[in-house]
């Protein structure tokens, strides 16, 4: 077991001891340690952390999150290994969320009217549970 792997186990047990679930972060950090072991690197550097964080080239949204995980781990390791570099904050751009669509009053009213236009035979209450909802919408003429 490498020093980084044992440091990761100590870091994760400490974080989980504080009450954090740390499930996704643990998986990502284990990937980071495997990346470091594959490169035979024993010291966390900003260059290696940035290289790992940007590994999935088409997944820009997760880059900042991955680097944030490594920053926390690197701060922990730096307490024991002064050669460890902690990547600076905001080294990668944060996730840019799409602008939310705000419905206008007419769209809200139209959306609220849709359930009122559906006609269901009340004797067949469980039609949607059974999966034959379209059949329940057809009403027999009286």
Domain residue extents for the chain: 3-78, 105-137
84 pLDDT higher than 70 = yes
97 three-class SS: coil
Say how far apart CA 106 and CA 84 lie, in whole Å.
Answer: 58
Q: Say how many CA atoms lie within 13 Å of 23 toward its Cβ.
A: 1
Out of 17-21, 92-96, 113-117, the most confident range is 17-21
Q: What is the pTM of this model?
A: 0.65
Query: What pLDDT is recorded for position 38?
Result: 95
Measured torsion, CA atoms of residues 24, 93, 90, 13, in degrees rounded to the nearest 10: 0
Mean pLDDT of the chain: 84
Average confidence (pLDDT) over 52-75: 89
Do residues 36 and 48 touch, judged by C-beta distance below 8 A? yes
100-115: string of b/e by CB count within 10 Å (b at 16+)?
eeeeeeeeeeeeeeee
CA distances from 126 to 65, 117, 134 (A): 44, 19, 12
Give the 3-state secondary structure percentages of the chain, helix then strand then coil, rounded to 5: 55, 0, 45
Higher-pLDDT residue of 125, 57: 57
Average confidence (pLDDT) over 104-128: 76
């Amino acid at each position: 077991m490498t020093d980084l792997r044992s440091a990761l186990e100590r870091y994760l047990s400490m974080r989980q001891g504080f009450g954090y679930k740390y499930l996704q972060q643990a998986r990502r950090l284990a990937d980071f340690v495997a990346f470091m072991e594959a490169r035979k690197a024993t010291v966390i550097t900003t260059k290696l952390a940035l290289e790992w964080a940007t590994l999935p080239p088409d997944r820009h949204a997760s880059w900042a999150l991955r680097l944030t995980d490594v920053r926390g781990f690197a701060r922990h390791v730096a307490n024991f290994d002064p050669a460890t570099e902690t990547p600076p904050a905001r080294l990668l751009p944060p996730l840019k969320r799409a602008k939310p669509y705000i419905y206008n009053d007419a769209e809200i009213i139209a959306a609220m009217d849709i359930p009122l236009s559906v006609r269901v035979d009340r004797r067949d209450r469980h039609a949607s549970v059974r999966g034959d909802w379209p059949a329940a919408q057809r009403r027999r003429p009286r």
